Chains A and B, each alone.
Chain A
Amino acid sequence: MIDPDILIRKGMPKGYFKDIFVRISLGSVTYLILLIAVMLFAKIVIDGAPAIFSSKFPFVDMEFLTAKNETLHVFDDAEGTRHKLPASKYNEYLKAHPGDTIYNEKTFSYSGGGIAGPIAGTALLTLGAIMLALFFGVSAAIYLAEYAKQSPFIHMVRLAILNLAGIPSIVFGLFGFSVFVLAVPVITNMPSDRSLLVVPLLINDFCLSFQGWNSSLMAGCATLACMILPVIITASEESLRAVPQGFRDASLAMGATRWQTIRKCVLPYSLPGILTSSLLAITRVAGETAPIMFTAAVAAKDDFPWEGLKNPLDILSSQVQALPYHIYTLAARIPNSEYTQRAQYGSVLVFLILVAVLSFGSMILRAKLRAKLKW
């Protein structure tokens, strides 16, 4: 080297201030995002906590989680004490104090009692949708990963399925409404007037009537299942492909049929991946409002879905309440006041906790199964 001194810099390092500027601006964007998330959760937790937590053991207000949803009555009695009672207790109060005058009575829809109805409805919708989506999704994934030849056509099929994942959920809602609610065939002896097509089955009066399932649990499940199908198919196909080729080769070389190979040597090892991905899909199903708005959900329902049924299977055709829709109703359909906050923020907090538990569960499950299954 001619002049070793060129290795020693004069003044600040090159781009010193620029680097500091970039670091600070990128950092502040990151922490701004964090701040938004923290504010969001803090608001919900602070306002929602009083609804579901209590200062006494067991520290959780079980009534909010297990009672049915009711109208809240707020009034003053003759001594000027303010009462906040859900409709059923309000009626008891009136019976217990006949002749008392009450003042300043106000009612707030959906704000009294608990949210057991929406919780039960969301649980049923999620369960049904996941079962449907797993059956159809895993079947399709097995076909795509194990049977189909990798032709341009199959490539297009896969692309179409991926595209399905990008469709806005409200479109799924409308699709579900026009297909599952209004058009799918049912077997009945009394076809509805608006049936699109009636095909007599020639057994008594029974006929196949394309009249849909009405707004019902099963229409909601089917719509939600359509929505998460792409997720399940893609994740299942990946899990199937992750199973080492050697297992398949060895099994086929032993004289096993393709299906035996899949059933005994491929599916058992891809199941963990399929299940964790479907657990992630659960959080999505539980959270969506748009697909169930027209297909399954009602704002108010006095009974649990399973109450008052002649036949246990009728639960499939009953309407349900659902947490996300309930939150929407509480937020958009009733006037805001100090008396409605408990139900509003309480529902949101319960909902967030539910989704967090499911996500966290899926993470733990995946970590455990990954550690267990090595090859």
Chain B
Amino acid sequence: MVNSPTETPVSTDRAVQIRNVNFSYGSKQVLHDVTLDIPANQVTAFIGPSGCGKSTLIRCINRINDRIPAAKVTSGSIHVHGIDIHREDINLHELRRRVGMVFQKYNPFAKSIYENVVYGLRIAGVKKRSELDEAAEKALTNAALWNEVKDRLHTSAFGLSGGQQQRLCIARVIATEPDIVLMDEPCAALDPLATLKIEELINELKKKFTIVIVTHNMSQATRCSDRTAFMYLGKLIEYGDTMQIFENPGNSQTEAYITGAFG
């Protein structure tokens, strides 16, 4: 952190610091002046109605939005472990390796289970078989999938159930040992049982990783997050401890949303 002179105070217990971020898709502004800190080794949940910008916000953290030509952070800054991720000399590939992402629709590659898990290591240039095997077993164990797939590691990932495929995607992300795992509605395409498994997994994973999760499911936010941010129309309305947000919301819009009055 020595070579990162930033205006904001740098703190190790804050994994991500978002400061006054405005974001636009072309002429359509999606995020308005969002500022918040995401603490390390906790689960931070983003809730809010569809189109409120919560997915867009977490997709800014690993700069995966760069792919979309007209999408741009127009002002403000995002620091990951104190480093401004919009610096000219940022190592984008390393950033994405450190900030993993699990997508809404589970998207394993059309490869074997094993090849899916070691993908990140392979593209990082790891060639040693023993190292790959070890990492695959560790990641699959951490993703609570090892016992289910250990006998068919080399069969197609598409043979797994939806929930297993999503856990495989989580295993793929944690195989490279990132610091932060972004989850964009990881259970949106899953049934309640598979959802439960992922939630248990999230509770396990937060011991090692900082987890940021976007969810539509408010009870999911209460079950597995430490902190909750409520967003509405591209603005951060309220942000605090999950207990406080759900039991004693400080904002009338938050209250209306969590009680189901709109959204």
The interface of chain A, by Cβ under 8 A from chain B, is 149-150, 244, 246-257, 260, 264-265, 268-269, 373-375
Contact = CB atoms under 8 A, between A and B. Distances in A.
- Enumerate the 3 nearest inter-chain pairs by beta-carbon distance, A residue then B residue, closest first: A246-B107, A255-B97, A255-B96
B109 A265 contact: yes
A247 to B, nearest CB: 6
Interface stretch (B62-70, B145-153, B221-229): B62-70
20 contacts: A244-B107, A246-B105, A247-B109, A249-B64, A249-B67, A249-B103, A250-B172, A251-B109, A251-B123, A252-B64, A252-B67, A253-B100, A253-B173, A254-B96, A254-B97, A254-B123, A255-B94, A256-B123, A264-B109, A264-B122
Contacts of A374: 158
Contacts of A150: 69
Given A255-B93, A264-B123, A250 B158 contact: no
A373 B69 contact: no
Interface of A is mostly: helix
Interface of B: 62, 64, 67, 69, 92-97, 100-101, 103, 105, 107-110, 119-120, 122-124, 158, 169, 172-173, 176
B158 A257 contact: no
Contacts of B123: 251, 254-257, 260, 264
Contacts of A247: 107, 109-110
B194 to A, nearest CB: 18
Contacts of B92: 255
Nearest to A373: B110
B68 to A, nearest CB: 11
A149 B101 contact: no
* Best-buried of A247, A253, A375 by chain B (most CB within 10 Å): A253
B126 to A, nearest CB: 13
B100 A250 contact: no
Contacts of A264: 109, 119, 122-123
B64 A269 contact: no
Given A149-B69, A247-B107, A253 B119 contact: no
Contacts of A265: 109
Contacts, number: 69
Contacts of B94: 255
Given A249-B64, A250-B108, A253-B173, 11 more contacts: A247-B107, A249-B107, A251-B123, A252-B67, A253-B100, A253-B103, A254-B100, A254-B123, A254-B173, A254-B176, A373-B110
Given A255-B120, A375-B158, A250 B96 contact: no
A249 B102 CA distance: 10
Contacts of B158: 374-375
B107 A250 contact: yes
Contacts of A149: 69
Contacts of A253: 62, 64, 96, 100-101, 103, 173
B169 A250 contact: yes
A67 B176 CA distance: 63
A244 B64 CA distance: 16
A162 B122 CA distance: 38
A257 B124 CA distance: 10
Nearest to A258: B67
Contact of A255 (B105, B107, B109, B124): B124
B157 to A, nearest CB: 10
B254 to A, nearest CB: 30
Contacts of B122: 264
Nearest to A254: B120
A226 to B, nearest CB: 31
Contacts of A269: 110
A284 to B, nearest CB: 30
A150 B97 CA distance: 28
Nearest to A246: B107
Contact of B172 (A248, A249, A254): A254
A244 B124 CA distance: 23
Nearest to A261: B123
A150 B68 CA distance: 11
A375 B100 CA distance: 23
Nearest to B67: A252
B55 to A, nearest CB: 12
A131 to B, nearest CB: 27
Contacts of B176: 254-255
Contact of A254 (B69, B105, B110, B119): B119
Nearest to B69: A149
A151 B10 CA distance: 41
B183 to A, nearest CB: 12
A260 B62 CA distance: 18
Nearest to B64: A253
Contacts of A244: 107
A374 B69 CA distance: 29
Nearest to A151: B69
